[in-house]
Amino acid sequence: MPFDVNLFIRALAFAAERHRLQRRKDAQQSPYLNHLIDVARLLCEVGGIHDPVTLAAGLLHDILEDTQTSPDEIRSQFGNEVLAVIEEVSDDKTLPKAERKQLQILHAPGLSQRAKLVKLADKISNVYDVAHLPPHSWPVERRQGYLDWAQAVAEGLRGTNGPLEACFDKTIQIARARISIDSPGVI
């Protein structure tokens, strides 16, 4: 499938507009858009993914959860395929956080190929940030807990894309080492 630059640029512009006021939880309060671009970069550069639907979904993967954007808006702007991937990777925010996290672990193996790719790139980006740009209010134990959960989700995504899986493994290994250095009492 030829790369659809127009779809990618439209998704990037839409994500930038809808997430424009959002910031990451790191000490620098990085623009949230940086995370979305990182997910698309990981898909393309590491995973070798050039499918425009997957890349657009990577840019838009949090839009239903974190903005007032409706599924109908996504469908009209980007089509049913992009919407389907986004819906697969979106949590139901009406559920308690612990239940949402458990459902991500349970649902990971049954996701479509495209959704698995987006979910894996998202986990790589988040694991990196938890280690290198952690939320300022997260103690070491919460960061370690996040890594444990992310690894459980990633296990359900195995067999999807070797380079992305290797990147996840390396990223989580480095993250665990970095966080253990931050842990009090480590010699």
Is the pLDDT reported for residue 187 higher than 50? no
Question: What percent of the chain stands above pLDDT 90?
Answer: 88
CA 176 to chain centre: 19
Tell me which of 3.30.420.130, 1.10.3210.10, 3.30.1360.70, 3.40.50.150 is the CATH number of domain 5-182: 1.10.3210.10
Tell me the per-residue pLDDT of 120-174, one tens digit each, with 9 for 90 and over. 999 999 999 999 998 888 999 999 999 999 999 999 999 999 999 999 999 999 9
Instruction: State yes or no: pLDDT of 106 exceeds 50.
Output: yes
Task: Please say if the pLDDT value at position 32 is more than 80.
Answer: yes
- Cβ-defined contacts of 131-138 (< 8 Å, 24+): 131/171, 131/174, 131/175, 131/176, 131/178, 131/179, 132/175, 132/178, 133/24, 133/26, 133/27, 133/28, 133/30, 134/26, 135/24, 135/25, 135/26, 136/25, 136/26, 136/27, 137/25, 138/25
d(CA 102, CA 95) in angstroms, rounded, equals 11
Token code pair at residue 139: 């103690």
pTM for this structure?
0.94
Confidence tier at 186 by pLDDT (50, 70, 90): very low
Of 26 and 130, the one with more pLDDT: 130
Which pLDDT score, from 0 to 100, does residue 184 have?
Answer: 58
**What is the residue extent of each domain of the chain?**
5-182
On the question of pLDDT at 42 being above 80, the answer is yes
Active site residue 81: no
Of the residues 66, 73, 81, 91, which is catalytic?
Answer: 66
Q: Which of 65, 73, 81, 91 is catalytic?
A: 65
Retrieve residue 84's tokens.
């389907």
Q: How far apart are the first and last CA of the chain?
A: 53
Sign of CA dihedral 173, 63, 16, 83: positive
Q: 31 has which bridge partners?
A: 23
Distance CA 35, CA 17 (A): 14
pLDDT value of position 145: 96
Q: Is 91 a catalytic residue?
A: no
Beta strand segments in the chain, E: none
